[in-house]
Structure 1
C-alpha cells in the first residue's frame, strides 16, 4: 500500500498525492483532508516528518532524524606534547608521532577521498577527475583487465549497503562508540585519581611521622633506655616467677614422697603387730599363761577385798 506524501510548494500550500485505488473517494471525503482532524495518511506523514498532531504538546521523534548527519566529537582530542619522548633516542624530526584527525577527511561521491581529486582539479578543472576515473574504469572493464564477474556485482551491493548503513545508523554508531570510549577513559582516570589519592594520603602520613620523630629525637635515647629497663624488669620478674613455681613443685613432690613413705611404714608396722598378736593368740601356751595371770590377778583382788 502506498502512502501519501506532502510536497512543499510555498509556505502555506500543500499538494496531497492519493493512491490510484482511492481515486474514487467522494469529494466530501477529500475535503476532510483540509479539516483539523488528519486522516490516516496525514498522520503517517506527520510521524515521518516529526510534526506534532493536534492535541500533542511535544513533537514526535522521527526515525529518520539522524539520517545523513555527520557526527563530530564535542571536544577536541588532546594533543601529544612536542617534547614528549618514550625513549631519549626517539627521533621526532624524521619520525614524528602520528596525529589522530579530529574529523574524517573530506570525501566526494559519498565515499571517494577528496585528496584524489585535488591534484587533477588544479590542472584539468572540476570535471577532470571525474572524467579520468570514469575513463580508467571503462578502460579496465573494456579490456577485461578488471573482470567484472558475478562476484564483482557483490562489490556494488556491499558499497550500497555501506552507504545505507553509514548514512542512516552511522551517526548513532559513532555516538555510541564515542560514549563507550569516554566511559573507558573515565574509568582509567578514576583509577589514576584513586592512586593519586593514596599517594597524597601516604605523603601526609609520612610527613606526620617525620614531624613526630623529629619532636622526640632528643628524648629518644632516654625513651629507649627506659623501654630496655622495663623489658629487663619484665624478664627478671618472669624468671623469678618461673623459679618460684619450680621450687614449689619440687617441695610439693618431696612432701608427698615423705608422707607416702611414713604412711607405708605405719601400715607395715600395724600389719606386723597385728600378725604377731594373731600368732600369739593362736598359740596354746600363751592362752594358758594368760589364764594363769588372770586367775592370779583375781586372787589378788579377792585377798584385797
Structure 2
C-alpha cells in the first residue's frame, strides 16, 4: 500500500513538472504565447455513435478483424450467451426495461434533434460569451497599453515643457541683466552729462565775468576828453557818409 502511494505521488510530481516545462516552452522570451507550435485548445465535439449509445470506435475496432457484421454478431452473441446461461435473468424488470428502452428510443427519434439543436445553441451561446469576455479583456488590455503609451508621450512632453521653462527663465535672467546694464549706462551717462553741463556753465560764467570785467575796465579807462573826441569823430564820419550819399 505504501509503495503504491509513493509511486502515485512520484507520478503526480513528474506530471506537474512536465506541465510546468510545457507551459514554459509554450511562451517565448517576450512572454507571448507561441500560437503556431502551441495552439490554444478548442472545444471538442462528441464523436459519432451507432444505435444511439455505442461509440463508432467500437465498430472500427471490430471492422479490422471481423468485418462489418462483427460488432453486431458480438453483441447478439453476448446477449444470447447471457440469457441462455441465465446470467441475465428475464424477470418482470426485464420487460419494464424493454418498455423504457422503447419509450427512450421513440423520444430520442421524436425529440432528439430539437433537443440536440437547443443544447448546441446553448453551448454556442456560452462559448460565444466566454470568447466575448476574453476578447473584451484583450481589448481592455490593448486600451491600457495605448493609454500607457499616451502617458509616456505626455511625460516626454512634460520634459520638453520643463526644458522650455528653463529656457524662459534664462531669457528672463538675460532680460533682467540687460535692463540693469542699461540702467547703469543711463545713470553713468546722466552723471557724465551733469559734469559736462556743469563745466560748460562754469566756462560760460567765466567768459561772462571776463567780458564784463574787460568792458568795465575799458569803460573806466576812457576819459571824458577821449569820449568827446570819439563822439566828434563819429559825427564827422556820419556827416562824410551822408555827403557821399
TMscore range, shorter length:
0.3 to 0.5
Higher helix share: 2
Higher relative contact order (CA 8 A, sep 6+): 1
TM-score by length of 1: 0.36
TM-score by length of 2: 0.43
Q: Return the index of the structure with the highest Cα Rg.
A: 2
